[in-house]
Amino acid sequence: MILAAGTGVIPFLDLVAYVLRYATYKISKEKFGNTTNVLLPQEIQIFDQIKLEEFQIHFYVSFRDSMSALFLDVCEELNAVDKKYGLGIFKFFKTIQFENNMIWDSNFLISNFNSIKDEIKQFYIVGPITFMQDIKQGLVDSKISTNEKIFLV
């Protein structure tokens, strides 16, 4: 589970790109029966050996406004591809605070994570210091997670 605010999305863009390449591989292999000229040969060898679908990435991002929303198009496209082909490896949720008027408080955390808390292996939180501290405290106070499963990046 990744919770990122503002420029906090940037450290995870390589991960999103990796998942996108894996999605390309998986779709090419399963739906079209061919991975030739889709990815680099060494990537295909790696993807042949791993099963990325054994875990899911839930990527929650929050921005103040649309002008500060970085890389939404890439994440939204990956989310759409995941849904279209039923990959089940990437789920994306965005909040634009001034448009949605939504704040990530304990009510938000409980409504989004309480029902799946036993399935969540780790939380990665990145963004402004107060955001990270508030989210971490909210997860612990609401008993959604323990300190040991929360990483501030």
On whether residue 77 sits in a domain, the answer given is yes
Domains held by the chain: number: 1
53 pLDDT band (50/70/90 cuts)? Answer: low
Please give the Cα distance from 153 to 144 (Å, whole number). 19
Chain segment 11-35, per-residue pLDDT in tens: 898 989 888 888 888 888 888 888 7
On whether residue 81 sits in a domain, the answer given is yes
Output the domain CATH number for residue 84.
Answer: 3.40.50.80
On whether residue 90 sits in a domain, the answer given is yes
Whole-structure pTM value: 0.84
Chain segment 117-127, per-residue pLDDT in tens: 998 989 999 99
* Pair 95, 72: CB distance under 8 Å: no
Question: What's the pLDDT at 22?
Answer: 87
Specify the higher pLDDT residue, 102 or 2: 2
| 3-state SS, residue 104 | coil
On whether residue 37 sits in a domain, the answer given is no
92 pLDDT band (50/70/90 cuts)? Answer: very high
On whether residue 75 sits in a domain, the answer given is yes
**In this model, does residue 100 exceed pLDDT 80?**
no
Please give the Cα distance from 60 to 103 (Å, whole number). 12
Question: What's the pLDDT at 49?
Answer: 83
Helix (H), strand (E) counts: the chain? 6, 5
90 pLDDT band (50/70/90 cuts)? Answer: very high
- Note down the domain range covering 93: 2-12+52-152
Burial class (CB within 10 angstroms; exposed 0-12, middle 13-18, buried 19+) of 72:
middle
